[in-house]
Amino acid sequence: MFKKLIFTLLACLLFCSSFAAETLPVIFQGKNKTPIQTRTKNGETFVEARDMAKYLRLQTNLFWSSGQLNLRGKDGFFATLRQGENFATVKGNRETLTAEPFMEKRSLYAPITFFTEGAAFNAGNFQAAFDGEKIIIEKAGQLPVTEKQQEGNSPKTPAAVVAETTETQEEEIEEVGGEFFTQIPGSNLPPPTIINKLDTSKKVLPFLPKDLKKENVLRVCIDAGHGGKDPGANYRGVAKEKELNLIVAKELEKLLKKNKKIEIKMTRTNDTFIPLGTRAKIANNFKADLFVSIHANAAPNRKAKGFEVYFRSDKASDKEAAQTAALENEALNYEEKGVGNITYADLLLNSLATNENINESSKLAARIRNSVSDKSKVLGINVSTEKSIKQANFYVLQGVKAPSVLVEMGYVTNKDDKKRLNNKKILQMMAQAISNGVLTYARQEGWKI
């Protein structure tokens, strides 16, 4: 009994020497607020990440099983932190952390430097500083800027940030698919870098010969978004997004298979969860010539509606595109490290393979948009000539070594689109329109199919 007691005391001392549990005072706009739980490890200060984020007016979602925390802020800011990972993922790019976050009970502790010097410093309408004894939080632009903050991930100074943002407004928050949306303040994202230069008209392009495979077969990989434990957008009065996606994907497969010179590979044919990176791997192993991912959209604004088609780019074309990408990328929350022999880091860094296909992807997007637009009246789903082709950083498109697009058939959060998407005949016509777009693109690019 005595030996057991000694062992227990030694274990406690060892733990305490590694992690020191404490709190830090918070001075919020000059007033004392609830202290934040902190931990100290090897001289590094860690803060309870959700509490810190809330002070900065960032939206948070923590997934206990994987130890992943999602953060959302202004201008389409979307970042993830994971226990045991020495980097944060910020809008699809990697930011090295000063230490690895860790889980304790149901809290994720992250290095305070991520919030005071890293990408999160400019992510909200409030900013934080740490003087070694207390955390000071002020409105953006009212804290002195350190050299590390100036040299950090964001080129903007706090003064520049506050000049271009508006105060966060209290909005009704609505649950969709197990996640929460909040209205993102007015975005100042850079203008589209590609879309304005694209030919998205309905005119038929002249035939341009190209080097075709000897067998002259078009390989198309069709991806039904979400699946299994990942339901996608789940809104009352409409089937789960994963179910809508699979219906259209199977119908698209059936239509394209009528052409004997087209081979099809489905990433899933039933209600199965497939990691995002594995979907790209399936397409590449198949040596796909085209990749089409089928989805349905959701938004906090119930007036948002209509068909959209996206291709991957590091920069989103607008705040709505950034928000859509953030929603679809949340499938990462259901993944575990190493699933499908692709690590989390591999997925986030594997964007170079798609860069060379951006122009072709945009052309494929245009052909699909045009075909759906031709049937928009019978579909009953609006297709905007100006705004239906967009670009954003979708992880499912990263690493696909072929022209690739992500189709958003309509918004399940809009009463009109929801009604149409609940109609199986409409879904069949949607698949027909997408098929027509794929065929038009392929023939104009030289496939004799």
DSSP 7-59: HHHHHHHHHHHH-EEEEEEEEETTEEEEEEEEEEETTEEEEEHHHHHHHTT-E
Q: How confident is the model at residue 172, as a pLDDT?
A: 28
Pairing of strands 31-41, 44-48: antiparallel
Tell whether the torsion through CA atoms of 39, 43, 45 and 46 is positive or negative. negative
Residue 408 has pLDDT above 50, yes or no: yes
- Per DSSP, which regions of 320-431 are E strands? 389-392, 404-411
Residue type, 154: S
- Whether the predicted pLDDT of 127 surpasses 60: yes
Instruction: HSE, CB side, 13 Å, CA atoms: give it for residue 252.
Output: 31
pLDDT confidence tier of residue 182, bands split at 50, 70 and 90: very low
Task: Map out the domains of the chain as residue ranges.
Answer: 18-168, 195-444
Residue 30: alpha-carbon gap to chain centroid = 36
Q: Helix crossing, 424-444 with 241-256: angle to 10°?
A: 50
Give the span between the Cα atoms of 251 and 432, in whole angstroms: 8
Mean pLDDT of 264-271: 97
| Better pLDDT: 30 or 147 | 30
Domain 18-168 CATH superfamily: Copper amine oxidase-like, N-terminal domain (3.30.457.10)
Residue 38 has pLDDT above 90, yes or no: yes
DSSP conformation class of 101: -
Exposure of 108 in the CB half-sphere (CA atoms within 13 A): 26
Q: 424-444 vs 358-374: helix axis angle to the nearest 10? A: 130
228: left (phi over 0), alpha (psi -120 to 50) or beta: left
Reported confidence tier of residue 400, pLDDT bands at 50, 70, 90 = confident
Of 178-182, 285-289, 315-319, 425-429, the poorest mean pLDDT is in 178-182
Residue 151 CB neighbours (<10 A): 9
Whether the CB-CB separation of 62 and 50 falls below 8 Å is answered with yes
Identify which has the larger pLDDT, 153 or 237: 237
Out of 10-24, 48-62, 341-355, the most confident range is 48-62
Kindly tell me if the per-residue pLDDT of 165 is higher than 50: no
According to CATH, what is the number of the domain 195-444? Answer: 3.40.630.40
Instruction: Write the pLDDT tens digit of every residue in 248-258.
Output: 999 999 999 99
pLDDT of residue 136: 94
Residue 102 pLDDT exceeds 70: yes
Tell me if 237 sits within 8 A of 421, measured CB to CB.
no
Residues 152-164 have a mean pLDDT of 35
What's the pLDDT at 366?
92
Q: Dig out the tokens for 121 from the structure.
A: 């410093």
SS3 state of residue 271? coil
Rounded to whole angstroms, the Cα distance separating 102 from 401 reads 35
Centroid of chain to Cα 49: 20
Query: Percent of the chain scored above 90 by pLDDT?
Result: 41
What mean pLDDT is predicted for residues 308-319?
69
- Residue 20 is predicted with a pLDDT of 56
pLDDT above 90: residue 377: yes
Question: Given this model, what pLDDT does residue 197 score?
Answer: 36
What single string gives the DSSP state of each residue in 181-249? --PPPPP-PPPPSSGGGS--SSSPPPP------TT--EEEEEEE--BTTB--S--TTS--HHHHHHHHH
pLDDT of residue 144: 61
Query: Which of the given ranges, 114-123, 152-161, 338-347, has the highest pLDDT on average?
Result: 114-123
Residue 299 has pLDDT above 50, yes or no: yes
Q: What is the DSSP string of 278-316?
A: HHHHHHHHTT-SEEEEEEEE--SSTT--S-EEEEE-SS-
Residue 149 contacts residue 121 (beta carbons within 8 Å): yes
pLDDT in tens, 64-83: 666 888 888 887 787 888 88
- For the stretch 54-68, pLDDT in tens is 999 998 877 766 688
Task: Kindly report the average pLDDT of the chain as a whole number.
Answer: 75
